[in-house]
């Protein structure tokens, strides 16, 4: 293995402000849904995890720098947990995250590694 000092990184350092806004809208809807008891999921820890990561996305705010990896990590966690719940509403919200993250072709399965971090060999 060798290292090239001219190599370009495979992962973006920033996320587009429009995409952040889209993630924030999706996250806000997730929080609203969980507050209304819409999850019907007896796994309290899962709902708490979803609320924590969705709340972090809502709190990102516009105008500030948004580290790409951090925002995507929170969004992917929420998205994957919504897929695991598997209701019509949770899957609809998961699609909102897919769309904002640019991964709408994943077919509805949980994502174990961020597609943005994969190299282009």
Specify the pLDDT at position 77: 94
> What pTM did the predictor assign?
0.74
Contacts with 12 (C-beta within 8 Å, 6 or more apart), sequence order: 68, 116
Specify the pLDDT at position 27: 96
CA contacts within 13 A on the Cβ side of 7 = 10
d(CA 111, CA 121) in angstroms, rounded, equals 20
Q: For each of the chain's 121 residues, which pLDDT tens digit applies?
A: 445 555 554 444 456 778 888 999 999 999 999 998 877 767 788 899 999 999 999 987 654 566 677 888 999 999 999 999 888 999 999 999 998 888 865 556 666 655 555 444 3
Q: Do residues 78 and 91 lie in contact, with contact meaning Cβ atoms separated by under 8 Å?
A: no
């Amino acid at each position: 293995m060798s290292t090239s000092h001219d190599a370009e990184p495979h992962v973006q350092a920033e996320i587009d402000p429009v995409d952040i806004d889209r993630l924030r809208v999706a996250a806000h809807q997730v929080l609203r849904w969980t507050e209304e008891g819409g999850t019907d999921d007896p796994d309290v820890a899962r709902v708490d995890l979803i609320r924590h990561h969705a709340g972090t996305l809502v709190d990102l705010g516009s105008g500030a720098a948004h580290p790409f990896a951090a925002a995507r990590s929170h969004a992917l966690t929420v998205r994957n947990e919504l897929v695991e719940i598997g209701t019509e509403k949770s899957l609809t919200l998961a699609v909102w995250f897919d769309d904002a993250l640019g991964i709408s072709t994943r077919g509805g399965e949980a994502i174990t590694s961020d597609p943005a971090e994969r190299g282009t060999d």
